[in-house]
Structure 1
Amino acid sequence: MTNNEQGRTIEAGALKALAHPLRVRIYDLLSERGPQTASSLAALIGETSGATSYHLRALAAHDLIREVPGRGTARERWWERPKGRVTLPGPDDTMSPSNRAAAQIVTAEFFRLRHQTLMEYINRPAAEQPEEWRDAGLVMTTMLDLTPAQMAEVREELTGIIDAAVERYRGQEGAPGTRRVSLRAEIFDLPTATGRGSIQKG
């Protein structure tokens, strides 16, 4: 399995390798913070470097991550998550019981971490944010009444906006004045709910 700019879906073997809360956290940190070593990850997570090194090797064995070319030494290896969109398959009835269990672990931990970072942003005191970043973010929930075809149309529009932003700002990692930001889009049906309204932060 290889990663590319067109995106990839994680297959069963790699999904099982990822199905450990600490490995999901490591994978998430490599996405969020860029290349890391076992020692730097250990400091971020609060584990030993031996533990993070073990999990890094397990992730690398399934091409989920890779060593950074030309960086590091035999004693201090740098790891990165290859660029490109990744699809994590959710649990479904077509999977074997073991694959379904792995998918449940990965998706539960991924969304737990996602919610955690969102709450950290919402609860961050303004004094801890540079002034130019204080009003830059947006958290919005809007309720609509849509048909499946209309929801698919909105989904495609959102995907197009995100893809365009990724292409427009590609290659700015580490540039002066930039920060890593989290860009999220969600749209899904609420089968038993009706009504409309908006909740917005930012």
Structure 2
Amino acid sequence: MENTTDTPDAAARVEEHHSGDRVLDTGALRALAHPLRVRIYDILSQYGPQTASSLAEKLGESSGSTSYHLRALAKQDLIQEISDRGTGRERWWERPAGGVSFANPDAMKTPAGRAATQIVMNEFFQNRHDQLMAFIHGGLSGSAEQWQDGSMISTATARLTPEQSKELSVKIMALIDDAVDNYRNQTGEDVRPVTIRADVFPLPELGG
């Protein structure tokens, strides 16, 4: 069997796979820097196309509010309308395919860019944390057995150099890319959206 995580090969594949990722500029970050817009963007990313009405139901908002925020996101091409689906009164929206990076070094050079980036990152990861805690508190006991067996919450600590940390990150990213490419549009009775998280970062130095 081919070793898909061989480091040189994996690094090349990861670089090629993400070479077209969109790095959000300050304008896009500022458009996204609103708690409700981050949640809308996240739902479109995780669950697929939605209408203003379906988003309003999921978020406990009015369809007028979600419609307004959808248009604001669309102005920065963060989302797009599905032109051949729905009607003039019931428009469907989706997030364009492809990776997106919130980390823009140029945006971080300005106060507005730093503030927008912080809002987006805080909201994005708070949403992810809330989903994790909801699964821990309810999903572990409420999920079907096959989902309990197919889920993983794990943390570990290793002592690495920066180069070793990069090597590990590349291997993990290659595995995630393969899963996304192979199953992005899969449908079926037992198919559900599955969030995949990977955190690799140095711990702060202990004081004292």
Number of the residue aligned with 1:176: 189
What is the alpha-carbon root mean square deviation over aligned residues? 2.0
| 1:29 aligned residue (31, 39, 43) | 43
Q: Is the partner of 2:195 in helix, strand or coil?
A: coil
1:122 is the counterpart of 2:133: no
Structure 1 SS opposite 2:150: coil
1:19 aligns with 2:33: yes
Report the CA distance between 1:91 and its aligned residue. 7.9
How far is 1:93 from its partner? 8.8
Distance (Å, rounded) in 2 between the aligned partners of 1:114 and 1:152 = 23
Give me the whole-angstrom Cα distance separating, in 1, the residues matched to 2:51 and 2:91: 6
Report how far residue 127 of structure 1 moved.
5.2
Aligned to 2:82: 68
Q: Which runs of 4+ in 1 moved over 3 A?
A: 90-94
Question: Unaligned stretches of 5+ in structure 1?
Answer: 194-202
| CA distance in structure 2 between the aligned counterparts of 1:66 and 1:108, rounded to whole angstroms | 24
Q: Percent identity?
A: 51
Residues 52 and 64, structure 2, Cα contact 8 Å, conserved in 1 = yes
Structure 2 distance, partners of 1:16, 1:177, is 38
Query: 1:79: which partner in 2?
Result: 93
Residues 23 and 104, structure 2, Cα contact 8 Å, conserved in 1 = no
1:199 matched residue in structure 2: none
Contact 1:38/1:52 (8 A) holds in 2: yes
SS of equivalent residue, structure 1 residue 110: helix
Give the whole-Å Cα distance in 1 for the aligned partners of 2:182 and 2:48: 19
Q: Could you tell me which runs of 5 or more consecutive residues in structure 2 were left unpaired when the two chains were aligned.
A: 1-17
> For 1:1-202, what aligned pairs fall within 5 Å after superposition?
6-89=20-103, 94-126=108-140, 128-172=142-186, 174-193=187-206
CA drift of 1:125 comes to: 4.8
Higher strand proportion (structure 1 or 2): 1
> Does structure 1 conserve the Cα–Cα contact (< 8 Å) formed by 2:24 and 2:104?
no
Question: For residues 90 and 110 of structure 1, what CA distance do their matches in structure 2 show?
Answer: 16
Deviation at 1:166, TM superposition (A): 1.6
Report which structure shows greater RCO (CA 8 Å, sep ≥6): 2
Post-superposition offset of 1:129? 1.6
- How far apart, CA to CA, are the structure 2 residues paired with 1:91 and 1:104? 13
Distance 1:187 1:148 in 2: 11
CA distance in 1, matches of 2:67, 2:171: 41
User: Deviation per CA, 1:94-150, whole angstroms, max 9, x where unpaired?
Assistant: 521111111111011011101000101111155532232122100111111001111
Counterpart AA for 1:105: I
Shift of 1:83: 1.5
* Matches of 2:133 and 2:98, distance apart in 1: 26
In 1: Cα distance, 2:76 partner to 2:167 partner: 35
Higher helix share: 2
Shift, 1:154, TM fit:
0.5
Report the number of matched residues: 189
